Each structure stands twice: as C-alpha cells, then as structure tokens.
Structure 1
C-alpha cells in the first residue's frame, strides 16, 4: 500500500508547534517584560521608600525642613549672618529701636537684639537635639527590652516610668536645677532626658509588643534565631517608626521647655545666650521696648512650630493607616 502523506500540521520534535511555542515563552520569561510595558521589575518598595516619596511631595515637610536646616546652620555658624559679639553692650543705647546695622534694636543692657537672637539659636538647638537623642536612646532601649522579654522586667520598667510620669516637669526643674550652679546646657539636657525617657519608653514598648507577634518573628524563632538576632534584625526595624515620630515632635517641645526653664531662672544662665533668658529680661520692659520681646519670642515660636510641623509630616508618611 502506498504510504499516506504526512499531515501538514504534524508536530515534530525538531520543528515548530508546541515545542517551539514553549521555548519562545521560556525565553521571554527569562528576558523579562519589555522596557516599555508589562509589570515593572526591581525590588519592591518598602515603608521607608514610600514614606520618603510622600515627604518629598508634602509642602509642610519641605518648608519645615528648610527652616530647620537654616536654624542648624546658624546654630553651628552664627557668624554667617551676625558678625557682632552678643555680649558686647553699650548702656548709652539701652532700649533704642532699630538702627542701621542693628535692625532689631537694643535691649535693656544696650546689647544688639539681632546678634543675641541669632546666637541664641545655638543653645536652644543644642538642648533640643541632645535631649531628644538621649531620651530616645534611653527610652527605646528600656521600653524595647520591657516589651520583648515581658514578665518582671516589664512590670519593673512600667512602674519606674509611672514614677517619673508623676513628677510635674516644671516643679521637677525647679527642684533639680536650682541646686546646679553651672549655667551651661548640659544640666538642662540631663534633666530633660531624666523626665523625657518614659514617654519614648511606652511608645517603644507598645511597638515591640505588636511587632513580636508577627508571623516572620515566630518563623525566625522556630528556625532557632536567638533573642538578640530577633530583636535587632526583625523587631527593631519594624518598631522604630512610631519612636521616630514621637521623638521628632518631642524635639520642639524640649526646645520650648528649655526656654521656659531659662525664663523662670533655673535653666541656662548668663553669660550663655538663650532665647529664654532674653524673653525673661524683656518681659519687664514690654511696654517701653516691645521689640526686645518680639524677636527672641518670634524666633522661639518659629523653631518650635517647625519641629512640630516636621513631626506631623513624618507621622502622616509613616502611619500606614493614614494612607
């Protein structure tokens, strides 16, 4: 019998058909989607990258960040915009108003208000940053350990924090700082850290308690990860966001607290230049020379507001519930 011709659509191992289609699809998957379309490749975006993208588009963050950068610059290098000596005074010009080269006028001792306002940023920014760093570090460590280990350690730290919460901060400043003879920034920083860490501690404890219940932490524990590895590698990076938010807002509060303590005479003391000291000296002359109070008080208000606005913007960017 004559052999029947092979069908035209027959599939041969070396030819086209399903084998060729499978090969082409495999090559396409290996090459990835085309650059102009398809699903984008690369690493998935994290919480921090999403937060940074939101912050860059937030005008509140941009404005507050620019103000804070400017304040930090003049705190480090006040001579950049004020070349005078804040301690050089002339009683003949006491309480005089604005003059060429002295736009803010003079205070009751004949000192240039503009120069003292610029140089006063150093003390306030130093106290705010150092006190926030110290309170955040101490509170995060103690609160994180309490939330991670629990038990008697958690109970002990919680009761200790309650004791410090019960101390009125102004009254505590009067008692603690009245016995300190130094008028530098470090006793004030130490006092703020002493009474500021419990707030950070509670935030850190709650964040760690929430994070350690996640599945990835339980999986790491099941795989034999130690307490140190779980706390530093898996829990801390996912619990630090609320601590950063609270610390950023607290920084502005600590600057206002330093000015308050200096105003009542137990914080910074002369010859240290401080907005709180200048506001205290100007308060008795507010009717005769209001410019003495206006400029240091305005600088203090803008600084505190800038840090609070920055904290609000960071909170909105890092809180997934607000997205």
Structure 2
C-alpha cells in the first residue's frame, strides 16, 4: 500500500501543498488571517451565480460596481437620462454654446411678444429674450442642485456612518437631532431662514438645502453601516486586531456607500425643484440672478396673455428634474440585485 503520506497511500495528510506548511511566528499568522479576511470581503461584495451576467476577466465573478456598470449600459433609461444630463451640464457650464444673447438685455417695446426670427421663445414682460434666459437659467439651478447634493451627501454620510459604526450616545444624539430636522416643513423653513438673507448668490440657498437635507442621507448611511459591520468579514478583521479606521475605510464604507449614492442621485432632482419653488416664492435666488424659478414667478400672472413666458422655463425645469430622477432609479436598479 505504500508508506503513509506516499503517492499511493489513502492516508495523505494534506491534499493541498499550501496546507502542509503553516506560517511560523505571529507575523505569518497575522498575514494569513488578514488575507483570509480580505478574501471574505471580496466574496461578500461580488455577486456569484447570476444568470445572464458573464464572469469577469480570468473567469472570476464580477464585482458589485463592475456588474452595476454592465447593467446600466444595457438600460435605455440610464442611457437617455445620462445623455440628457450631460447636455444640461454642458449648457450650464457653457451657455454661449446655444446663444450669444445677453439674458439681462431687455427692450420694453417688445414686452410679451411671441416668437420672432432670432428669438424662438419670444419675450417676457420686461422685453428680455425668453430663450436666452431659459438657457442661462440652467447654470444657477443645476449649480444649486449639485452643490446642495454634494454637501448633504458628505455631511450626512460622515455623521450617519460614524453614528452607525460606533453607536452609543452619539448614535442616539444623531437620531434625535435628525428627528428635529425632519419635523421642520421645508417650504416654511425656507420662508423663515431665507427671508432674512440679502445675498443674491446661490450659496444661502445651498446652505439651507444642506441644512435640511443631510438627515435623510444620514439615516440611510447609518442603516447601511450597521448592516455592513455585522458581516463575517468585518467580524473576522476585528478579531484579528484591525483598528476602527481600517475597518471603516477598508471593509465597511465600500459596502455601505451604494444606498447613499442612490438616494443622493434622486435627491439632486428634488433639490433643483426645491430651489425653483423657493425662488418662485421670492425667498430663493433673486434678481439679477437668472433662474427658472424667478422666470416662472414673473410669468405666472401673465399666463393668459403670454403663456410662452411660463411654458419654456417650466418645461426646462421639468425635463431636468425628470432626468435626474430617472438616473437615480436606474442606478438603484443596478446596485440592488433584488430589483433585477
């Protein structure tokens, strides 16, 4: 039968040569254990066995983000909304691409006139070109939406992530503080907070939206972190001596950020609509800033006499908000395997 452990022996002690040699010393054991924890981390974040999704390079399963990008590229809703948003961002950065007309140059003799050569959208009450103001209005509205979303996502993710990871009195304090902000009506809060602001820039509006927007993202981030830190790979890394910073940045945050991205993407469109609402009420952006909300407010009393004044800025606002909401829905479907 051969010697024990020989090539013909049924009693081979190690089928895998890597198991025959154990690392010596505390350093070797720690390296092997950390390697096992990182392997569990990758397995937790990579979907396996999903039908219709080809494996990644080398036959390995796709990561969460690679799989999500593969799904997004095949989603017509994402393609259309992404192209539309890219066009709107280009117009916001470079409005001269579509018009050379100054949106603040007005001619009262042409007040409320309809479409004319070189002025396809007509004129408003002050005789300003509606097409030029619609194009230039994209800059202020999109700037408010992007800046407010970035600020709310950053502040909410930081506070919510720390509260969910460490728990204790900090978690309780954050939860109660968020409940207070949830109880403040957005429009009423804007009327109170922004009515005392005299600045004509976009930053007071951005600050107000961040102030009322961070609790929602903080609650999402807190829940995601609490779920992620209970996974086996996090517990393994903790038992092997990994510090809180490494656990948070290396293992927890990458697996808890997806819900935050989805909520922030959808919220961006909501923040653009909120800016227009506050500007319509006269407490958001103010002249001489060019904004869709300001133009809608000025056109509302003249809707019967000159409906074109309201149609174009309101249409641009609706399309922009819809594009960001559609993008958020597509990203949510791609990042949540349960919705596929």
Q: TM-score, normalised by structure 1?
A: 0.87
Deviations 1:221-247 (A, max 9, x none): 011100010001100000000000000
Aligned to 2:251: 234
What value does the CA root-mean-square deviation take over the aligned residues?
1.2
Q: 2:87 aligns with which of 63, 66, 70?
A: 70
Aligned residues: 286
Q: 1:314 aligns with which of 331, 334, 339?
A: 331
Whole-angstrom CA distance in 2 between matches of 1:80 and 1:42: 46
Whole-angstrom CA distance in 2 between matches of 1:122 and 1:224: 50
Aligned to 2:35: none
Is the counterpart of residue 137 in structure 1 residue 176 in structure 2?
Answer: no
Residue 82 of structure 1: how far off its partner (Å): 1.0
Aligned to 2:140: 123
Is the counterpart of residue 264 in structure 1 residue 281 in structure 2?
Answer: yes
Whole-angstrom CA distance in 1 between matches of 2:245 and 2:174: 20
Aligned to 2:215: 198
Aligned to 2:184: 167
Whole-angstrom CA distance in 1 between matches of 2:257 and 2:58: 28
Q: 1:209 aligns with which of 226, 230, 237?
A: 226
Q: Which has the larger radius of gyration?
A: 1
Whole-angstrom CA distance in 1 between matches of 2:203 and 2:58: 51
Deviations 1:150-209 (A, max 9, x none): 110100000010111010000000000000000210000000000000000000000000
Residue 41 of structure 1: how far off its partner (Å): 2.2
Deviations 1:71-122 (A, max 9, x none): 0000000000011100000000000000000000000000000000000000
Q: 1:79 aligns with which of 96, 118, 124?
A: 96
Q: Which blocks of at least 5 consecutive residues in structure 1 are unaligned?
A: 1-17, 19-38
Q: Which blocks of at least 5 consecutive residues in structure 2 are unaligned?
A: 1-7, 9-55
